[in-house]
Chains A and B, each alone.
Chain A
Amino acid sequence: MATMVTAPAVRDTPLALGGRIFRSRLLVGTGKYKDNATMVRALEASGAEVVTVAVRRVNLDRTKEEGILHHLDPARFFLLANTAGCYTAEDAIRYARLAREAGFNEFVKLEVIGDQQTLLPDVAGLLEATKVLVKEGFRVMAYTNEDLITALRLQDAGAAAVMPLASPIGSGMGLVNPYHIRVIKSRLTVPVIVDAGVGTASDACVTMEQGVDGILMNTALAEAKDPVAMAHAMRLATEAGRTAFLAGRMPRREIAVPSSPTVGMLS
């Protein structure tokens, strides 16, 4: 384990999500790992407390994989069920209800996908499902476009967090539209968690530098050559980006300003 630089100069508040408090601003998924042992070690290295899971049919022939709960201790990780793979509000609502019945918490990472090729969200379906689920007492974390108006509507609908994408799910393209993410963060009062699209540590760092409350990733870890090492890097990058944001960056200029004194030069 590498030595961590401790005691940052800037004091941060914890991440508050739907009435829960978390220390880590990095949230991670559990899909696509080559094996469960690697997945568990990567989760540990990431320092994440919130981990996402999907709802799927039990394999009835019982010869293949078991459920993920054999590998994830629900007492240790906060399980955030997603509605991945749902293309209608109705489906997403159905999956959310099933997930809640598993009995861990009232949270759902709500996805209503609108297009198979880009996996971009169907914002109309997302809003509709958010309204229904909020009414049923869910804490909805809504995966959405980096679009301010949709983000505002989701907040109005009662979403506990809004999760705009950095770039399409699994693309690893990084933060494509930092401006829109900043705008969303500046206008919303609920937490903004950037979800999907980061590829490597610098992406996570730049994303956190925009001032968002957290970041969620899966493929960047699972598809790294060494998922455990990448999880560690993402943990550092998330902390670095967050700390840099709190530290407040210097202004950007298009001219050079010397770092060394201009007086006292030899004549």
Chain B
Amino acid sequence: MIASLPRLHAVTDDRVVGEGRIVERATAMAAAAGPLLAVQLRTRTLAGGAFLALARGLAQALKPHGAWLAVSDRADVARAAGAQIVVSGRGGMSVADVRRVAGQALVGRSVHTALEARAAADNDADFVIAGAVYATASHPDMKPAGPELVRGAAKAGLPVVAIGGLTPERTGAVIAAGAWGVAAIRALWDAPDPEAAARAFLTALPGGDAIGVVVNGEARRTSRGTTLAGLLAELRLDPRTVVVEHNRHIVRRDALAGVTLAEGDQVELVHFVGGG
């Protein structure tokens, strides 16, 4: 299950939540990143009712893209909204208590040192969010620990999501240091085009060159550049036995290798079955 932990975490803070348009911006990111994205709702200003309403709205918007919802601290809100992740920070509920409330959700622990990452592993967290790796406006007081923090935290054996001043340009370095993925606030939420921002991160993330397509009504990921002929090969289908419809246009057998799939493409693969 942990193998499907998203690689890109779009974390909110009170400022982002206060700005509104959360669902709109999250949907744009989800359109680009699909199941590689988790939107982590973090706020200290919203009361339970408003928090849950926002979480539910997000969950609904993310679901069609296969993107995940993560909720900070409020395991109760996470459970009610059907979030796939709960992130518990310093001073927050223990991993065991979060699980008691949130049930099936993955539990992430926010850590600042390799030692805390070790403790999270000992307490059976599913992953850690480690920061601040680089200098960040969110925590101006915090001395950036650099990719070394990732390297140290990764030794605890849990997937590490790096946070703090992350940009697409810096993503390669933390991945090289052993990070599973990255989390960002400003680089995603403040971007004039959140979809493009998410895509920029993806190019530096493992598996980030994948695109989301819908084949016979089912969402699936395939690597960027895959042609229709390549898709059939992936599905182990003989092109002579199926007819291919791509975004409502029939593609002739001899043209299958010439059509490259793009994000959001709809593909129908049909054949003859018994009928009257």
- Report how far A30 CA is from B215 CA in the complex, Å: 26
Q: Which residue of chain B has the shortest Cβ distance to A84 in the bound complex?
A: B275
Contact of B216 among A58, A216, A219 (CB under 8 A): A58
Contact call A84/B276, Cβ cutoff below 8 A = yes
Contact call A58/B271, Cβ cutoff below 8 A = yes
**Contacts known (A98-B243, A101-B250); A58 close to B272, Cβ less than 8 A:** no
- Report how far A84 CA is from B235 CA in the complex, Å: 27
Q: Which residues of A contact B245 (CB under 8 A)?
A: 94, 98
Contact call B275/A33, Cβ cutoff below 8 A = no
Q: Which residues of A contact B270 (CB under 8 A)?
A: 55-58, 98
Q: Which residues of A contact B242 (CB under 8 A)?
A: 58, 67
**In the complex, per-residue mask of B220-239: 1 if CB is within 8 Å of any chain A CB, else 0:** 00000000000000011100
Q: Which residues of A contact B13 (CB under 8 A)?
A: none
Where chain A touches its partner, the secondary structure class is: mixed
B252 close to A (CB within 8 Å):
yes
Interface size on A, residues (CB 8 A): 37
- Report how far A137 CA is from B273 CA in the complex, Å: 24
Contact call A69/B275, Cβ cutoff below 8 A = no
Q: Which residues of B contact A184 (CB under 8 A)?
A: none
Contact call B250/A97, Cβ cutoff below 8 A = yes
- Report how far A39 CA is from B276 CA in the complex, Å: 12
Contact call B269/A102, Cβ cutoff below 8 A = no
The distance from the CB of B82 to the nearest CB of chain A, in whole angstroms, is 26
Contact of A68 among B248, B269, B273 (CB under 8 A): B273
Among B237, B252, B276, find the residue whose CB has the most chain A CB atoms closer than 10 A. B276
Among A56, A82, A216, A219, find the residue whose CB has the most chain B CB atoms closer than 10 A. A56
Please classify how large the interface on chain B is, using the bins under 10, 10 to 19, 20 to 34, 35 or more. Answer: 20 to 34
Q: Which residue of chain B has the shortest Cβ distance to A143 in the bound complex?
A: B276
Q: Which residues of A contact B218 (CB under 8 A)?
A: 60
Q: Which residue of chain A has the shortest Cβ distance to B248 in the bound complex?
A: A94
Contact call B272/A69, Cβ cutoff below 8 A = yes
- Report how far A81 CA is from B243 CA in the complex, Å: 13
A79 close to B (CB within 8 Å):
yes
- Report how far A82 CA is from B269 CA in the complex, Å: 17
- Report how far A196 CA is from B217 CA in the complex, Å: 31
- Report how far A218 CA is from B276 CA in the complex, Å: 5
Q: Which residues of A contact B235 (CB under 8 A)?
A: 60, 62
**Contacts known (A52-B276, A60-B235, A67-B241); A102 close to B271, Cβ less than 8 A:** yes
Contact call B274/A81, Cβ cutoff below 8 A = no
Q: Which residues of A contact B209 (CB under 8 A)?
A: none
The distance from the CB of A145 to the nearest CB of chain B, in whole angstroms, is 17
Q: Which residues of chain A from 15 to 54 have a CB within 8 Å of any chain B CB?
A: 29-33, 36, 39, 52-54
- Report how far A30 CA is from B272 CA in the complex, Å: 10
**Contacts known (A57-B216, A101-B243); A67 close to B275, Cβ less than 8 A:** no
- Report how far A156 CA is from B241 CA in the complex, Å: 35
Q: Which residues of B contact A79 (CB under 8 A)?
A: 272
A sample of 22 cross-chain residue pairs with beta-carbon separation below 8 angstroms, ordered by A number, consists of: A31-B276, A53-B272, A55-B273, A56-B271, A56-B272, A56-B273, A57-B217, A57-B269, A60-B216, A60-B235, A60-B269, A68-B271, A68-B273, A69-B241, A79-B272, A84-B275, A98-B243, A98-B250, A99-B243, A101-B252, A169-B276, A218-B276
What is the interface of chain B, defined by CB distance below 8 A to chain A?
215-218, 235-237, 241-243, 245, 248, 250, 252, 268-276
What is the interface of chain A, defined by CB distance below 8 A to chain B?
29-33, 36, 39, 52-58, 60, 62, 65, 67-69, 79, 81-82, 84, 94, 97-99, 101-102, 169-170, 196, 216-219
Which 8 pairs from chain A and chain B are nearest by CB?
A54-B275, A218-B276, A29-B276, A67-B271, A30-B274, A53-B272, A31-B274, A58-B269
